[in-house]
Amino acid sequence: MTYVRLIARHHYDSAEAAILPCSRAEKRSLLGLWKFMAGMPVGGARVNADTTRINRQDATATAQLSIFVRFGHDPASVWVKAATRSLKLQLHGERWLVAADVTRAAGGDLAAYGFSSFSRPVFYDGSRATVVASAGADDAEARFILRVADAAVPEIWSRLGDGKAARRPLIFLVESKRQGERLAHIDLGKVRTPAGWQYSAFTYVDMPEWEQLDEDSQQSMVVHELAHVATRSWLSGAPHSLVEGVAMYEEDRWRRDHRIWPISYDRLGDFYAGVDSIQLWQRRWSDWGLRNLLGIHYAYLDAMAMVQTIVDRHGGVDALRRLAAALPRRGVSQGFSQNDIRAAFLSALGVSFEQVVSETRNRLR
Ligand SMILES: [Zn+2]
């Protein structure tokens, strides 16, 4: 434990004194962790000993350790399980010394957070957000994303934020399709737009996709994903339309506040002719389970328009929170019944679902 703590604090000389590798391969095995931790924040690490197995016959032991890291100064990010390691220890006189790193499966929980895909992570700490990228990432792009996040987080937080995670969001920059695919295995509760997605307390930006956007949309897309992180604690079980509507509303608000062309409702009025809004509101799946790109596009716009109506006419952001709280807990694949939705609108907003729909449609006509 002391040994790993020393490495986590980047005290390599003291760590060197605690090792006793016999072969060159053993020495090399230990350097892997040194290199990995060199990219991690100093002083932001916590080491937990999970189990230790002692073999009395040859005076060796195997210790299982978990290393957690936390980014940024106050407010710091949530703890992230950065690595799990198995170390072989050797009794040397009275002291246990580290002989080799015998970790078999790389990473542990790492992969879920994207760390293992980052050969050597670099991080950029801002006042309210931290950007984590691989060493090959474009420095200017990483700093641009950090500037947007630092400017956006205080406002998003004061308006929508809840829970610890949103106090310092972590934004991972994903550099290649393959890296993205590996990260995308985490499907649970994932909310995505083409250039980014949010999972748990983390925001991911798919850089090749992000680079295709114009500079204005590059900014507002980051705001959109940060809004998901901020609202996760009270929207995690909500209809997909409410989850996306709030993020779209916040994205649009950023654009207006920064004199960027607002998100266009396009021909949403025409689209409404063939759509029953309540069927969208019943769903909890990514993209509402729609296959048609145009349909997905309009479902996002409908979500935003409905949220706009609720905020403007039926009680502001507090009404959104009440609405989320008024809905029963339902599984993702189960979704909500029409009765669930109607009852929640009535009790949280004091108006019927149908009235909010018709106000929204009339506004866009
Ligand atoms: Zn979204």
Q: Do the domains 117-236 and 2-108 match in fold?
A: no
Task: Give the Å distance between the CA of 244 and the centre of ligand 1.
Answer: 5
> Average per-residue pLDDT in the chain?
83
**Interval between CA 280 and ligand 1 midpoint (Å):** 15
**CATH number 3.40.430.10 given to 117-236:** no
CB 222 within 8 A of CB 197: no
Distance 43 CA to ligand 1 centre (A): 34
Please give the C-alpha separations between residue 309 and each of 97, 117, 160, 314, 365, in angstroms, as whole numbers: 65, 42, 17, 7, 14
**275 CA distance to ligand 1 centroid (A)?**
21
Q: Is the dihedral of CA 132, 163, 220, 197 positive or negative?
A: positive
pLDDT digits (tens, 9 = 90+) for 326-359: 999 998 888 999 999 999 999 999 999 999 999 9
Architecture of domain 2-108: Roll (3.10)
Q: To 10 degrees, the CA torsion angle through 317, 319, 320, 323?
A: 170
**Could you tell me which residue, 105 or 52, shows the higher pLDDT?**
52
Distance 28 CA to ligand 1 centre (A): 44
Ligand 1 centre from 272 Cα, in Å?
A: 21
Q: How remote is the CA of residue 235 from the centroid of ligand 1, in Å?
A: 12
Residues facing residue 81 across a β-bridge: 68
Give distance in angstroms: CA of 193 to centre of ligand 1: 5
Domain boundaries, the chain: 2-108, 117-236, 237-365
Q: Give residue-wise pLDDT tens across range 215-253.
A: 999 999 999 999 998 998 899 899 999 999 999 999 999
**Mind listing the pLDDT tens digit for each residue in 90-100?**
888 888 888 88
Q: What global pTM score does this model have?
A: 0.81
Q: How far is the CA of 201 from the centre of ligand 1 (A)?
A: 14
Q: How confident is the model at residue 265 (pLDDT cuts 50, 70, 90)?
A: confident
**Ligand 1 centre distance from Cα of residue 246 (Å):** 9
Cα 192 to ligand 1 centre (Å)? 5
pLDDT at 190 exceeding the cut of 50:
no
Give the distance (Å) from ligand 1 centre to CA of residue 225: 6
- pLDDT score for 208: 85
- What number is the average pLDDT over the span 46-62? 81
